[in-house]
Amino acid sequence: MQLAFIPSPLLSHPSALAAPKARPSCSLPPSSTFRMTAAETSPDRRAFLLAGLASAVLAALPRSALADGAVSPATRQRARGVYGPRVLAYSGLIDQLSETAASGNLQRVAAMTADPSKLSKRERAALELEEGFGAFYEDKRAFSLLRNAVRGERTKEVEMDRVVDRFFTAVNDIHTAAEKGDADKVQRLAKDLSLYLRGVQTVADLTPSGLENVPGVASMSDYDWKRWRKIPEIASKKLAPGSQ
């Protein structure tokens, strides 16, 4: 029995007899191109990894270390040790001011308590030749830097700002009184200066003898502030004999 071949309509279509079309090949870019792309994106990858590492470190820190205003004990000790002596040296300057006021030399008192940054050219010309011109403002920055000794302790920060502001307000009032020739007010305000300075000492926990016991970073470290600290000589400096 012979089977008859029945042509299929699909096979008779011309497209069925055509050779299959080659598919577009999916090849990788040349190795040099791949390396360049990796080089270009590697910084982003490193940044991503570093960001993840930083997040992990921060997550491991105690909450107290992340609190606003948190500061290490070493920072407070360094502030006391470096800037404390510079602030305490003002006690000698106040003594000089009182002696000068007692001698009646109000011109020199005005010069010592003058703020050079606020004087006019005429006022500066009249005072800058006097001994001790601008002495109370020469190291004013030490008071601001001493604030680090109480940083993180909100109550003490506020009190420090208050007593320092009163101290320099009194200095300015002495300058005004000296220019007006009011010797009694000058001497009275000079006593107030001593009180305000003691207030700074109390808030910052400063004592002349205690500063030598403030620990440094390390006894032989180049970063130990005790190795390069300079003790000011204002406290021991006296006016030349007869200059008052």
Q: How many domains does the chain have?
A: 1
Residue 154 within any structural domain of the chain: yes
Q: What is the pLDDT of residue 242?
A: 41
Residue 189 within any structural domain of the chain: yes
Residue 38 within any structural domain of the chain: no
Q: What is the pLDDT of residue 207?
A: 74
- Whether the predicted model's global pTM rises above the 0.85 cut: no
Two tokens, residue 12:
């008779």
**Contact present, 93 and 234 (Cβ < 8 Å):** yes
Residue 57 within any structural domain of the chain: no
Residue 148 within any structural domain of the chain: yes
Q: What is the pLDDT of residue 181?
A: 94
187 Cβ contact list (under 8 Å, min separation 6): 98, 101, 102
Q: What is the pLDDT of residue 206?
A: 86
pLDDT along the chain (244 residues), means of 10: 53 53 54 48 61 59 46 83 92 94 94 95 92 95 92 92 96 96 93 94 79 48 50 45 40
Q: What is the pLDDT of residue 101?
A: 93
Nearest to 199 by CA among 113, 88, 93: 88
Expressed as residue numbers, the domain containing 141 is 78-228
Residue 32 within any structural domain of the chain: no
Residue 124 within any structural domain of the chain: yes
Residue 149 within any structural domain of the chain: yes
Round the CA-based radius of gyration of the chain to a whole number and report it. 39
